[in-house]
Amino acid sequence: MVQKDDGLRSRAEGELMAKDQLMDYQKALEAYEVVIGLEVHVELNTNTKMFCGCANVFGDEPNTNVCPNCLGFPGAMPAVNGKAIENSIKIGLALDCQIAATGRFARKNYFYPDLAKNFQTSQYDEPIAFEGKIDIEVPSGKVFTVEIERAHMEEDAGKLTHVGGSTGRIQGAEYSLVDFNRAGVPLVEIVTKPIYGAGDEAPELAAAYVRSIREIVKNLGVSDARMERGNVRCDANVSIRPKGEAKLGTRTETKNVNSLRSIERAVKYEIQRQAHLLSQGVAIIQETRHWHEDRGATSSGRPKSDADDYRYFPEPDLVPIKPSKEWIEQIRATLPEKPAVRRKRLMELWGFSELEFRDVVNSDLLDEIDETVKAGAKPQAARKWWTGELARIANSENKDINELAITPLQVAQIAELVESGKLTDRLAREVLTGVLAGEGDPAAIIAARGLEVVSDDGALLAAIDKVLAEQPDVLEKIREGKLQAAGAVIGAVMKAMSGSADAARVRELVIQRATEG
Amino acid sequence: MTEITPELVRHLAGLARIEVTEAEVAQFASQLALIVDSVATVKAVASQDIVATSHPIPMANVFREDVVTASLTQEQALSGAADSDSGRFKVSAILDED
C-alpha cells in the first residue's frame, strides 16, 4: 500500500486526540515481549516510470511527467520497464532472496484521488523475490538476523496537497490538489517476517535495519535512497505480548516514519503506549497509526479491516515475468560486495578502532568517509572532519549531515591542505565555512580570503625574533632542554600572525634559533 | 445456487463507491449469484493438470526499454479535469479516508 500525504488530517487528529499514557520503557520490557515487523518502500531511480515512458524525476512542475497511463485514461495500456525488473531482482539477490520463476502483477483496488486508475498495479501472491535474510548490527554491537518475507514490485501514487481550513483541522479543509508526476514511479516493497527477541533493542534494530536497506539500495545504484525525499519510506508494525504468552499480540502499523530517528522513536512509543493499555486491561486495536515527528507521538488512523478488502486479481494487461536462470546469474555477478563484508574490509583498510568504526557507522558516515579517503584524504583525517567539525555544524543547523553543501572531494582537499601544512586547523575551519556558504572550492576560498599559511620563513623569523626580544630568558631555557618553554613563543607568534602560521614550522624555527645561539 | 447476501452487496457497493437502493440490493444479489455460478461451472471442467492462467496468450517477459518518451503538457493533462488549481487537479476534501 502506498503512503498517503495526509499531513493535514494527521495534525487534525493530533489536536483532537487526548494524550496517550505511556508505561515506563524499562517496566514495559520487563512485563512484555516485543515483536516488530517492517515494511520498507524503495523508490527506484530508473529513467522512466514502471509502466510508461514518462520521466521519473523529483521536483518537476506538477503534472508535466504524466500520460494516459498515469492519469488512468480508459484504454491506456501499461508496458513494463525492463530496467525496473532488473533492479528489483538486484534488490532481491542482495537480500539473499529467492527469485520467483514466475512473477505476476496484480490489481489492488481502492479509491483515492492519488491514484486515477482506482487500482494500484502491484504484486500479490507471486512477488518477484521471497525468503531472504539480512544480518543487522545494532549500536551495542549485537547482530540480529532479520528474515525477509518478500520483496515485490509496485507503483507509487500521486502527491496530494490539502488546501484550506484556517483552523488547520480537516473539517476546515476545502479541497485537495493532486500532482500525478509521482504516480507510476517504480517501487519495491520489502517486507520482513516478524522479528522476535530484540527486547529493549527493538527500536534500534528497526532503525539499523532501515539504514542497512538504504545502504544496500544506494550501493546497488538502484535508488537515490534519500529519505527526506521519500525515496525510502518505512511502515513499522509493533505488537507486544505478556512474557511467556505464545499467542502474538494485536499489532499496529505506524506510517509516516521517514527518518531513521523517527523509526526508533515511533517503535519505542508504540511499545510504551501498548504496554500501558494492556496493563490497564484495555485491548489493542488493530489499526494504522500516524507518526508525528513534532510531538513525538503516534495517533490513530483507520481500523484495518474494511479498507484491506482490496479484491486483488491478476493484471490482465500484463504478461508474467519469468526471469531465466542465466539472467539472474548475470545480475548476481554485477552485485557489489555486501554491506557487512564492506564494513569489515573498510575497518581493516582504515585501521580504525572498533569504537571509532561503530561511531562512523552509527553516524551514517561510511559512504562519506569512504569517498573522502578515495579522494586522497588519510582515513583518520577524513573521520575527524566528518564526525567532528561537520557533524557539529550539521547538528547546530539541525540538518542531516548528508545535506551539508560539501562534497567528499572538498573535505579531502581541506584535509590535504592541513596535512601539507598549508592550512592550520583554524584556517581550515574557516575554509570549511566558506565551502558550506557556497563560496566555491577550498583553493578558490583560500585565494579569495587570503587564508594560506605563511610559509615564508623570513616573515616567520621576523615575528619570532620580535617575540624573543620581549622574552629573552626563553632561549636560555630551551638550551637547558626545557623545550616546553617554546610554547609561549609559539603562541605569541601565532597570535601575531593572526593564526595564519604553521605552528609546527614556528616551533622548528624557535628551536633552530636557540641552537644557533 | 450461491447465496449472495444483501450485506455482501452493500459491502461491495461501499468498496466500489456506488450508491444502491434497497430494490437494487435485491436485484444485484440475484444477478451476482448468477455470475458467480456461471464462473463456477469452469471449475467443473478444469482438471488438476490445467494450470491457472492470467493471460490468454502464453507469453512472458515483455519489457520496455528504460527510455523517456513524450509526456502530456500540463495544459493537456488538466484539459479534462473538472477543476484545477496551480497546475494540479482539484478534488473534494477527503474526510473519511486515511
In a domain, B70, yes or no: no
User: For residue A212, what is its C-alpha cell?
Assistant: 542497512
Residues of B with Cβ-Cβ distance to A161 under 8 angstroms:
88
In a domain, B72, yes or no: no
Which one of A55, A109, A309 has the shortest CB-CB distance to B71? A55
Q: Closest Cα of chain B to A200: distance in Å?
A: 31
Task: Find residue A130's DSSP bridge partners.
Answer: A98, A150
What local confidence, expressed as pLDDT, does residue A426 receive? 83
Cα dist from A392 to A128, A357, A385, whole Å: 43, 18, 10
Between A302 and A189, whose confidence is greater?
A189
Residues of B with Cβ-Cβ distance to A46 under 8 angstroms:
66
The CB-based long-range contact list for A423-432 (8 Å cut-off, 24+ gap) reads A423/A451, A423/A452, A423/A453, A424/A453, A424/A494, A424/A499, A424/A500, A424/A501, A424/A502, A424/A503, A426/A499, A427/A451, A427/A452, A427/A453, A427/A499, A427/A500, A429/A389, A432/A385, A432/A389, A432/A390, A432/A393, A432/A406
In a domain, B81, yes or no: no
Residue A363 pLDDT > 60, yes or no? yes
In a domain, B13, yes or no: yes
- Number of domain units in chain B: 1
Q: Where are the domains of chain A?
A: 7-327, 337-449, 457-516
Classify burial at B79, counting beta carbons within 10 Å of its beta carbon; exposed 0-12, middle 13-18, buried 19 or more: exposed
In a domain, B84, yes or no: no
Cα-based angle A105, A111, A116 (whole degrees, multiple of 5) = 70
pLDDT band of residue A419 (cuts 50, 70, 90) is: confident
In a domain, B12, yes or no: yes
Classify burial at A486, counting beta carbons within 10 Å of its beta carbon; exposed 0-12, middle 13-18, buried 19 or more: buried
pLDDT band of residue A8 (cuts 50, 70, 90) is: very low
Residues of A with Cβ-Cβ distance to B65 under 8 angstroms:
82-83
Average pLDDT over residues A127-140: 93
What local confidence, expressed as pLDDT, does residue A481 receive? 78
What local confidence, expressed as pLDDT, does residue A110 receive? 86
What local confidence, expressed as pLDDT, does residue A172 receive? 57
What backbone torsions phi and psi does residue A15 show, to the nearest 5 degrees? -70, -35
Residue B36 pLDDT > 80, yes or no? yes
What local confidence, expressed as pLDDT, does residue A18 receive? 55
Q: How many CB atoms lie within 10 A of CB A249?
A: 20
Question: Closest-CA residue in chain A for B90?
Answer: A177
Q: How many CB atoms lie within 10 A of CB A195?
A: 21
CB of A485 closer than 8 Å to CB of A471: no
Instruction: Please indicate if any CB of chain B lies within 8 Å of the CB of A328.
Output: no
CATH number, domain containing residue B15: 1.10.20
In a domain, B77, yes or no: no
User: A113 and B89: CB-CB below 8 Å?
Assistant: yes
What local confidence, expressed as pLDDT, does residue A11 receive? 42
Domain that holds residue B26: 1-45
User: B61 and A322: CB-CB below 8 Å?
Assistant: yes
Instruction: Please indicate if any CB of chain A lies within 8 Å of the CB of B21.
Output: no
Residue A6 pLDDT > 60, yes or no? no
In a domain, B78, yes or no: no
Which one of B54, B63, B86 has the shortest CB-CB distance to A314? B54
**pLDDT, tens only, A266-291:** 999 999 999 999 999 999 998 889 89
Residue A134 pLDDT > 70, yes or no? yes
Q: Closest Cα of chain A to B82: distance in Å?
A: 12
pLDDT band of residue A500 (cuts 50, 70, 90) is: confident
Residue A307 pLDDT > 80, yes or no? no
Between A251 and A364, whose confidence is greater?
A251
Which one of B55, B89, B90 has the shortest CB-CB distance to A319? B55
Give percent above pLDDT 90 in chain A: 58
User: A179 and B87: CB-CB below 8 Å?
Assistant: yes
User: B54 and A82: CB-CB below 8 Å?
Assistant: no
Which one of B62, B71, B95 has the shortest CB-CB distance to A64? B71
CB of A8 closer than 8 Å to CB of A173: yes
**pLDDT, tens only, A173-221:** 688 899 999 999 999 999 999 999 999 999 999 999 999 999 999 989 9
Classify burial at A382, counting beta carbons within 10 Å of its beta carbon; exposed 0-12, middle 13-18, buried 19 or more: buried
What local confidence, expressed as pLDDT, does residue A490 receive? 84
Question: Closest-CA residue in chain B for A113?
Answer: B91
Complete edge-to-edge strand list for the sheet that includes strand A119-122: A119-122, A106-109, A313-314
Candidates 1.10.3720.10, 1.10.10.410, 3.30.70.3040, 3.40.50.460; CATH matching A457-516: 1.10.10.410
